[in-house]
Amino acid sequence: MTDSSAVLVLLTVISAATPLLFAALGELITEKSGVLNLGVEGMMLAGAVAAFAVAVTTGSSTLGVFAGALAGAILAFAFGVLTLTLAANQVATGLALTIFGIGLSALVGAGFVGIAVTPLPKLAIPGVSDLPVIGSLVFGHDALVYLSIVATVAVAWFLKKTRGGMILRAVGESDLSAHSIGYDVIGVRYRAVVFGGAMSGLGGAFLSLAYTPMWAEEMTAGRGWIALALVVFASWRPWRVLFGAYLFGGVTILQLYLQGAGGLDIPSQVMSMLPYLATILVLTVIAAGPWKGRLDAPACLGRPFRPST
């Protein structure tokens, strides 16, 4: 199978974007409920190490994926206990969660350094996957790549079309009103936080099982922070998260590609800045452009909820 280089670049972009997409979608739901969890990086690492450890010990990458999501969810639950039940400061707790996740994953992962695991199988459909261009671009990824797209659709649908989504948004926009008409603010936020953790865990699982099938300390290398930025970048809209993740992945890969292709006399350091410059540029355009600064941050974002009753 020979594909044009454009197709090959796109394939790499898809795998670079997927972990960001998972983590950012999870954080989107968390933030929509009014909770700011800065622990994405830590939860991704927990997911990555759990997924890898379980996949290696049981030999099943499917179990590994579940373990990754579960590990992320457990860390997120701990975050929930601290910030929702005990009303601790969300920013400080989130940062602590990241640092905790880095340390915990390094400790758990110490015994798994230097081991290789079979990457997640690609879901090839005989015949279809061999089609030129479309075959490899649309078909022939591993299950997690499709799951990330399905998750985008599901999150968008949930937020816009379902009663649960409306309640979630209400809780994030005005916790006191939601509370006064009888919604369980803390309960909704717990579910949103745990969902966010599970999605970060899936992003981590994708890293350690599919993207670079191995475990190495701090292998997320800052992707959790990028996912956090993507949520703002996307002004809390799922489809824009998808776009942002692929844009970010695309610019990252493109700069590597251009370096290899040669003939472009731009210092590599400038090229490395490109993805971040693109992020800042888009943020500025959103803030100053025709949308007139409608970033649409949930009104209660980061505020602890203490019912007065």
Partner 1 sequence: MKYDLTRRKFVIGTAATAGALTLAGPRAFAADPLKVGFVYVGPIGDYGWTHGHELGREAVVHKFGDKVKTTYVENVAEGPDAERVIRQLASSGHGLIFTTSFGFMNPTIRVAKQFRKVKFEHATGYQTAPNVAVYNARFHEGRSICGAIAGHVSKSGIVGYIASFPIPEVVMGINAFTLAAQKVRPDIKVKVVWINSWYDPGKEGDGAKTLIDQGADIVCQHTDSPAPLQTAEARGVHGFGQASDMKAYAPKAQLTAILDDWSGYYVQRVQDVLDGKWKSHNIWWGLKEGMVKMSPYGDAVPEKARKDADAIRDGIIAGTVHPFAGPIKNQEGKVVVAEGKSMSDEELQKMDWYVQGVEA
In the complex, least distance from residue 300 CB atom to partner 1, rounded to whole angstroms: 28
22: nearest Cα among 146, 119, 158: 146
Catalog residues that contact partner 1 under the rule CB under 8 A.
5, 8-9, 12, 16, 19, 99, 102-103, 106, 109-110, 113-116, 119, 207, 211-214, 216-221, 223, 252-253, 256-257, 259-262, 268-269, 271-272
- Decide whether 269 or 309 has the Cβ nearer to partner 1: 269
Phi, psi of 192 (to 5 degrees): -65, -40
In the complex, least distance from residue 141 CB atom to partner 1, rounded to whole angstroms: 14
- Decide whether 16 or 199 has the Cβ nearer to partner 1: 16
In the complex, least distance from residue 117 CB atom to partner 1, rounded to whole angstroms: 10
227: CB partners within 8 A, 6+ apart: 19, 20, 23, 24, 27, 40, 44, 200, 203
In the complex, least distance from residue 180 CB atom to partner 1, rounded to whole angstroms: 41
- Decide whether 177 or 272 has the Cβ nearer to partner 1: 272
In the complex, least distance from residue 115 CB atom to partner 1, rounded to whole angstroms: 7
Collapsed DSSP state (helix, strand, coil) of residue 309: coil
- Decide whether 183 or 218 has the Cβ nearer to partner 1: 218
Phi, psi of 228 (to 5 degrees): -60, -45
Rounded distance between C-alpha atoms, residue 37 and residue 44, angstroms: 12
In the complex, least distance from residue 241 CB atom to partner 1, rounded to whole angstroms: 19
| Tokens read off for 143 | 């299950």
In the complex, least distance from residue 147 CB atom to partner 1, rounded to whole angstroms: 19
Neighbours of 173 (CB within 10 A): 18
Amino acid type, 279: T
For residues 295, 69, 215, 12, the Cα torsion angle rounded to the nearest 10 degrees is -50
- Decide whether 217 or 304 has the Cβ nearer to partner 1: 217
What Å distances lie between residue 104 and 40, 70, 93, 176, 239, CA to CA? 14, 15, 16, 36, 33
Q: Are 237 and 294 in contact (CB under 8 A)?
A: no
| Tokens read off for 210 | 């599919």
Place of tokens 């590990």: 71
